[in-house]
Amino acid sequence: MIFLLLACLTNGTYGTGELNPSDEGYQWGSSSNTEQDSGETTETGSATSEPDIGYSVGSRAPNFYATDQLGNPWSLYNQNTAILLVFGHMDSTALPMMLNQAQELNDDVLTATLVGRNIYSSPASTSDAAGIASDYSIDLVLTDSSQALVNEWSERNPPKAYLISADHIVLWSAFQTLDSNTINQLLE
């Protein structure tokens, strides 16, 4: 068990690899995708069931930390609104295509992308993020210079998008393309 915890801390399972207990809403293990049902019982004796942490529809999305286009720290669990998260690299044609498709979404969803590499296949910087936010009218652009989060969330096949509810439940996900009609219907 200790070996598993150490492996998670060193391989980026906790997002940036840094635990941030001072962050609002931080809970030990909340950013791990291995959290299990606590098995607690209610007054009636039935087991309570929180969704498992994971990337599939119906799961609670793992928390992660990144830096936005202004250089500010950002955490998924500090968000209290529906969010469309797109993970990928700008040195492919698929992520720019998805960012263009994101412009067709209703205004009531926060649109964010987490970029690992810029158009020159170098680690993305905050200035790259600022340019992407401006070029594609994206609300929030996060950077992942280590590319660990992009690889983890996209299952090493970027780009991949997730629609996550205000309570951090994965509502929808897809590789390579956005279906704005489906996303807009899920938000209604």
**117-121, 151-155, 171-175, 184-188: least confident range:** 184-188
Per residue in 42-64, pLDDT (tens digit) is 344 445 577 788 999 999 999 99
Domain boundaries, the chain: 2-187
pTM over 0.75: no
Pick the CATH number of 2-187 from 3.40.640.10, 3.30.450.40, 3.40.50.150, 3.40.30.10: 3.40.30.10
Per residue in 143-153, pLDDT (tens digit) is 999 999 999 99
Per residue in 85-107, pLDDT (tens digit) is 999 999 999 999 999 888 888 77
Q: How confident is the model at residue 38 (pLDDT cuts 50, 70, 90)?
A: very low
Which residues, 6 or more positions from 115, have their beta carbon under 8 angstroms from its beta carbon?
Answer: 88, 89, 90, 95, 124, 128, 129, 132, 141, 142, 143, 144, 150
